[in-house]
Structure 1
Amino acid sequence: MKRWQPFEWIVALRFLREGRMQTAFIVGGVAIGVAVIVFMSELLLGLQGNFIRRVLTGQSHIQLLPPKEAARLLPAAPGDLAAATVQAPLQRVRSIDQWPAVQDQLRAMPDIAIVTPTVSGSALLARGAASRSISVIGVDAGDYFRIVPLADQITRGEARLGPNDLLIGVDLASDLGVAVGDKLAITAPSGAQTTLNVAGLFDLGNRGANQRTTFAALHTAQSLMGLPGGATSLEVTVVDVWAAEAVAQRITAATGVEADSWIRSNAQFFSSINAQTTANTAIRFFVGLSVASGIAGVLVVSVVQRSREIGILRAMGVTRGRVLRVFLLQGCLLGLGGALAGSVLGALALLLWTRLERNPDGTPLWLLELHPALFISAVLLAALTGLAAAVAPALRAARLDPVVAIRG
């Protein structure tokens, strides 16, 4: 049995050791390039994740709404020469037709994680002589709080929604001078009235939302808005937040109910995310191109410097294939070594950045998570880049004529 001899490895490592200065410079260049790619990619992923958390903290991925009232054509009065006009109708609080059946249909879709009904509408909240216009959102706390983690934003009291409970914002509580346990009178536009207890105060991080938004139990809001058993919207979360628009289109096609995704309702935000991703991809491409150019340049110089040695090896019977593999292996080792060093350098830069860049209160700007898949892909990409960059120098070395190379 013929024993395997790592000839290509021995020669490739010897060439790299003999050109220590060149090897050190190119490994350092690759390391810096990979560190830039890792740092920027992780930073962009953290930034996008932070934006998404902020955008989706108070809303679902997809919202199903009842159809809007159709416009009415008002004919011209007799003897009036003016053309008929179209009057936009008043949009009333309406329920989604047959929403339990639609909910069951959505829950059967594999791309959908949670579906829950809500009832929302305007009302007047009063305490003594003070009153405020508010938006009442009736929810099923069990499912809705899995979509919007309201329990995490409770500052006082608890996230409890019994038949007589109400959750209000801290700014609304401050304006009315109320605390947990106080009673508030609520009057709907239809004239329906009820009195609810303040079970908890929340802070959504937005003063306008804290002053206007309130949460009640689903049945309580249905009675208040005059929609017994109804639902003004179905809140949906999907498995992949980036596929929300495609899922929303499939929902509309399957159910006939209008579905708005967070992507469409936050079009400017989504456009900025795409622009950041495109810019990051362009930067990675040019960094990779510079890394490949550096490796190719070093290997071309190595071929020229070692032409005589290559000629001697060829004269001793070393095949062109082995010579080719020697230089391909050098390119791969340069890319791999630089990538490993760059990954460590990028991770250290990220840890340093999280320690130095802080909010005014001392908390991190946003939480950064190191993704192993990103580091693995960066290492593999750098190794393949080094291999590709070594193709031209390796072919040149393999094609050297032994006699010409030895004569110099």
Structure 2
Amino acid sequence: MHVLRTLWIEWQLAIGFLREGRVQSLMIMVGVAVGVAVIVFIAALIQGLQDNIIERTLGTQAHIRLLAQDEVNVVLPSALGTVQLVQEDKRAQRLRSINNWQQISATLDQLPGLMAVSPVVSGPAFARRGEALESVALMGIDVGRYLNVIPLGDYIVNGHLRVGAGDALIGRLLADDLGVRVGSKLRLETGQQNNTVVNIAGIFELGVRELDSRYVYLDLKQAQSLLDLPGGVTVIDLTITDIFAANAIAAQVERLTSLNAESWIETNAQLMNALSAQSLSTNMIIVFVAISVAFGIASVLSVSVVQRTREIGILRATGATRQQVLRVFLIQGAVFSLLGSVFGIVASYVLVWGFNTYGPGLFYIPVSPILVVLAILLATMTGVLAAAVPARRAASLDPVVAIRYV
């Protein structure tokens, strides 16, 4: 009970000092509010930009791709007593199936951390319509599995998502180049005497020029027949729960399956460098803003200590301990930063709402509750730490000297 009474007295003294210097208190709280608003808005802006970039990048590709091991030349041992000099060229890689892909897929289905497993058969071909001839990439898919990797239905701009029974999907740029539309016929030639004519059931637009101008989606069995890989697949696509753990999971899957595992981080190294640079710049902004807020609080409280030297001396002379005086000024720092951070959070929500409502509309800025809590904690801790130096100075004042101070 005595402790609560003491804390209440210290609280009243701290609030009383704040009320006496209303202008100074208001200015420092505005400074804290601006700092918190900048931290939250910039962090949310960078996070929204990164989410948008990752969504656009990974929305059209798997997180991890499993491929068969490269074929290598077999060099026969030299005869006994002879020296063999070998000049070896890398062996040309032929289109071939992944061995035991059904068992591998079933095993990966049970692996923690994987969201989807989709076997795919892919290979080169030509698409012909009249005199028009285009090089394309055939993609044979199991629709049920593939949609868990890439939501192809979200990218259909004409027609329907339908493959199999002679139906196919092609990219919008490829359709423009060939002059075809939904319902048109298209001849696919693989150069292996396995040609066929398909009906264009739908046209998609993934937003990646290379894919929209080359991809042709077929049923898995139809593509296997065209590419002369009956019952085989060339790639197993995976999606994972934690996209930034792709390298670690790829290494784990590679050890488990003895296949080559390529993660999206490896194939998008420049993107990862850009994301790292953005995160670094955000952290630097937060650090400098926090330092600015800390200096502002410390300077105001230092002035407050000088202005209230006599009052502090009287408090010490009437029995107030050094710890009590110290806590009075620490409470002021906490109040400064806490109230300022609340106003700053409100201001940041206004800024985010303005950007999302009246901005360019390139991407949406989300505000994470975790970010809000961290910003408030950061501001409050900064305020308390910044108040520590002037608070120690106030607590160390000699009562007799302080009372005689003019």
TM-score (norm 2): 0.93
Matched ranges for 1:234-313 at <5 A: 234-313=236-315
Instruction: Identify the range of structure 1 (248-257 vs 374-383) with the bigger mean alpha-carbon deviation.
Output: 248-257
Residue segments in structure 2 that go unaligned for 5+ positions in a row:
78-83
How far 1:120 sits from its partner (Å)? Answer: 0.3
Aligned 8 A contact 1:72 1:89 in 2: no
Per the alignment, residue 173 of structure 2 pairs with: 171
Q: Which one-letter code corresponds to 1:148 in the other structure?
A: I
How far 1:105 sits from its partner (Å)? Answer: 2.5
Per the alignment, residue 184 of structure 2 pairs with: 182
Partner residue of 2:135 out of 133, 136, 141: 133
Aligned 8 A contact 2:117 2:149 in 1: no
Q: Which one-letter code corresponds to 1:285 in the other structure?
A: V
After the TM superposition, which parts of structure 1 deviate over 4 Å for at least 4 consecutive aligned residues?
71-75
Kindly indicate whether residue 33 of structure 2 is the aligned counterpart of residue 31 of structure 1.
yes
Per the alignment, residue 366 of structure 1 pairs with: 363
How far 1:168 sits from its partner (Å)? Answer: 0.5
Aligned length: 399
Kindly indicate whether residue 387 of structure 2 is the aligned counterpart of residue 390 of structure 1.
yes
Alpha-carbon distance in structure 2 between the residues aligned to 1:158 and 1:224:
23
Per the alignment, residue 404 of structure 1 pairs with: 401
Aligned Cα RMSD in Å? 2.1
Alpha-carbon distance in structure 2 between the residues aligned to 1:46 and 1:89:
45
Instruction: Identify the range of structure 1 (289-298 vs 103-112) with the bigger mean alpha-carbon deviation.
Output: 103-112
Alpha-carbon distance in structure 2 between the residues aligned to 1:319 and 1:253:
66
CA distance 1:145–1:320, shift in 2 (3 Å)? same
How far 1:25 sits from its partner (Å)? Answer: 1.3
Alpha-carbon distance in structure 2 between the residues aligned to 1:356 and 1:71:
61
Kindly indicate whether residue 372 of structure 2 is the aligned counterpart of residue 380 of structure 1.
no
Deviations 1:212-262 (A, max 9, x none): 111111111112112222111111111011111111111112222111111
Per the alignment, residue 346 of structure 1 pairs with: 348
Per the alignment, residue 226 of structure 1 pairs with: 228
Alpha-carbon distance in structure 1 between the residues aligned to 2:112 and 2:15:
52
How far 1:2 sits from its partner (Å)? Answer: 5.7
Instruction: Identify the range of structure 1 (46-55 vs 193-202) with the bigger mean alpha-carbon deviation.
Output: 193-202
Percent of paired sites with the same residue: 45
Alpha-carbon distance in structure 1 between the residues aligned to 2:86 and 2:327:
83
Per the alignment, residue 78 of structure 1 pairs with: none
How far 1:209 sits from its partner (Å)? Answer: 2.1
How far 1:72 sits from its partner (Å)? Answer: 6.1
Alpha-carbon distance in structure 2 between the residues aligned to 1:125 and 1:51:
32
Per the alignment, residue 90 of structure 1 pairs with: 92
Per the alignment, residue 113 of structure 1 pairs with: 115
Alpha-carbon distance in structure 2 between the residues aligned to 1:189 and 1:261:
31
- Give the 3-state SS of the residue equivalent to 1:114 in structure 2: strand
Q: Which one-letter code corresponds to 1:390 in the other structure?
A: A
How far 1:295 sits from its partner (Å)? Answer: 0.8
TM-score (norm 1): 0.93
Alpha-carbon distance in structure 2 between the residues aligned to 1:403 and 1:190:
103
Aligned 8 A contact 1:34 1:339 in 2: yes
Alpha-carbon distance in structure 2 between the residues aligned to 1:128 and 1:56:
35
Alpha-carbon distance in structure 2 between the residues aligned to 1:133 and 1:185:
12
Q: Which one-letter code corresponds to 1:388 in the other structure?
A: L
How far 1:379 sits from its partner (Å)? Answer: 0.7
Per the alignment, residue 316 of structure 1 pairs with: 318
CA distance 1:301–1:2, shift in 2 (3 Å)? closer
How far 1:74 sits from its partner (Å)? Answer: 11
